[in-house]
Structure 1
Amino acid sequence: MYVHRIEFRCSAEQLLGRTAEFADELLGALQQNGLVCEAECSPVYLEGGSYVAIVLAPEQMSFAPELHSERVTKILGEGAALGITVTFTAVAEDSSCAQTCACHSPSGYVLFTNFLSVAPPVRCLDCFLPVPLYRFPVRPAGDFHDVICWQSDYRSCDRLQMNCTVLEKATTRQMSDVGSTLSKVGRENCSVLESLSGKPFYYYLYRANGRSVKSEMARCCPSCGQPWYLETALHSLFHYKCDQCRLLSNFAWNLSP
């Protein structure tokens, strides 16, 4: 993950207000394109007649023109027509975030995030590092709005269940029940991304509590009812894997060694 500086410079002082609106519009489009992580949390400030945004992006080259969606390209063109110049500058690698996947051809992917992560919500099944969304073929809508909305919802649920005060049971159910709204939306995203990428796309089902080690080892896939326990956990996290239903899960946290 990399810290980038985006400068919005306008040709006339009277356009300063319009430049601020343009910056918000472009940052939103960049996030939907998968180029910016959490644009709504990115600071934007005025510096010497220009607006500057400090953003977090998956890679050093995330803002290369060939990675821009049609919407991003359109907005940049509209800004240029108004006399607004946009400059992207890579500042430094973020030391607190994981690097992105460098696998040439991953065997598959998993939709995964948590309340601490600001990285893209797709992980490589081989190295388990985040995969920038813009590496995938363009979705029918032209961006990754559905995936990013799911990520926001999942992180909200995870934060509430971790805080253990408000809606803990309800949010845990959303994350762990294969039939919950959160899971259904997530699996729909996996299905679309699998059809676009041609690679298996798994969905992670959170598992909080189990009754006993014996019953936990014997539990079957909640979708098809078939055995799915792995003798050796995948990435030391996934103890269950169903290739038919494209589901992954962990051994109940209350029973983990």
Structure 2
Amino acid sequence: MFLSQGSFGKPRSDVDSEMVRDTLDGYLSALRKNGQICGEALHAVSGGSAIAYAYLVRPDSITRQYHSRYGIQDLDGVCELFGQEPSWQVLADEIPADFPDVRTASSLCLFPSAFDGQSPVCSMDTWDRFPTYLIPIDNDECERLCFWSREYNRMDDIWLSSGELEVPAYEQLASPSSLLSKQGRKLALAVESALHIPVYYFLMRYYGRGECESERRCPGCGKHWRRDTDTELTHFWNFPFRCEQCRLVSQFASASYDDSYAHIGEFQTKS
């Protein structure tokens, strides 16, 4: 990510501050939902000119060619209001000469970042995150990835807060049949169909069954999914549990000594 300053210029004299604010809010929101910027952008009018600060995913992610159809509409509104396209300056001393290509990954994983707005599409080889605006999916699918990622992080926050909704939130994160997981797995399938690269869905695993943890079966199909990896993993993404059929991955339980809710996310035999 690269902190950048956007300069929009002075708005037309016949518009009020509320219209300026709404126009900037709409445009920057479209960029965020398309995966071009990370997190909430800040903007203000200083000395009569509008400026904004935002984290760009890549130095060129703000160019028009990467805009969604919604972003183009909002950019046209910006140009009509300010009489010009905004210019952006990257506020960083070191900028990489190139960035990894998503098509070089052998497999991908849908795993949200703790930082709001970062792409949830990761390489399972290097853990690089690939911008969603570069994935050849529909603009609406791209926005759904943004919304799903934010909802995932919201559930994660609720679970960590350990309140009355702790268990329901954990179930959303750990069960392949939860609404959150169903939405995520559908999006993972859309990305896989677009790139023709396997895309796995990450299932959280906190509560476990101690020494029996390594014997648990895939919660999707009930088949063996334990891979031959070291118990002490060097890299988190070297998931010890992976099911190619169900496109699910998971890790060893963080609290393997506590089986209070170990049944959540485990294979359930249909009665």
Return the TM-score normalized by structure 2: 0.83
Q: Provide the residue aligned with 2:74 in structure 1.
A: 75
Match of 1:236 in 2: 236
Alignment of 1:1-257 (within 5 A): 1-17=1-17, 18-38=19-39, 41-85=40-84, 86-92=86-92, 101=100, 105-116=104-115, 118-139=117-138, 141=140, 144-213=142-211, 215-232=212-229, 235-237=235-237, 238-255=239-256
Could you tell me how far apart the structure 2 residues matched to 1:160 and 1:109 are?
27
Q: Displacement, 1:116?
A: 5.0
CA contact (8 A) 2:137 2:191 kept: no
* Partner amino acid, structure 2, of 1:151: S
Q: Decide which moves more: 168-177 or 157-166.
A: 157-166
Count of paired positions: 249
Structure-2 separation of matches of 1:161 and 1:207: 13
Q: Distance in 2 between matches of 1:151 and 1:104?
A: 22
In the TM superposition, residue 156 of structure 1 has moved relative to its aligned partner by: 0.7
- Any unmatched runs of 5+ in structure 1? none
Q: Confirm or deny: 8 A CA contact 1:114 1:158 kept in the other structure.
A: no
Aligned-partner Cα distance in 1 for 2:138–2:177: 24
Provide the secondary structure at the position in 1 that maps to 2:36: coil
Name the one with the larger strand percent: 1
Preserved CA contact (<8 Å) 2:103 2:195? no
1:166 deviates by 4.0
* Contact 1:36–1:57 (CA under 8 A) maintained in structure 2: yes
Paired residue type of 1:243? E
CA separation of 1:145 and 1:45: change in aligned 2, threshold 3 A: same
Amino acid at match of 1:70: R
Cα distance in 1 for partners of 2:93, 2:154 equals 26
- Aligned 8 A contact 2:32 2:117 in 1: no
TM-score (norm 1): 0.88
Instruction: State the 1:147 CA deviation.
Output: 0.7
Q: Which amino acid aligns with 2:2?
A: Y
Larger Rg: 2
* Aligned partners of 1:115 and 1:158 also within 8 Å: no
Partner SS state of residue 229, structure 1: coil
Q: Which moved more, 1:66-75 or 1:182-191?
A: 66-75
Cα offset for 1:52?
1.6
Segments of 5+ residues of structure 2 without an aligned counterpart are 258-271
2:225 partner letter = W
2: distance between equivalents of 1:156 and 1:73?
29
State the secondary structure of the residue aligned to 1:254.
Answer: coil
- Cα RMSD over matched residues? 2.5
SS in 1 for 2:151: helix
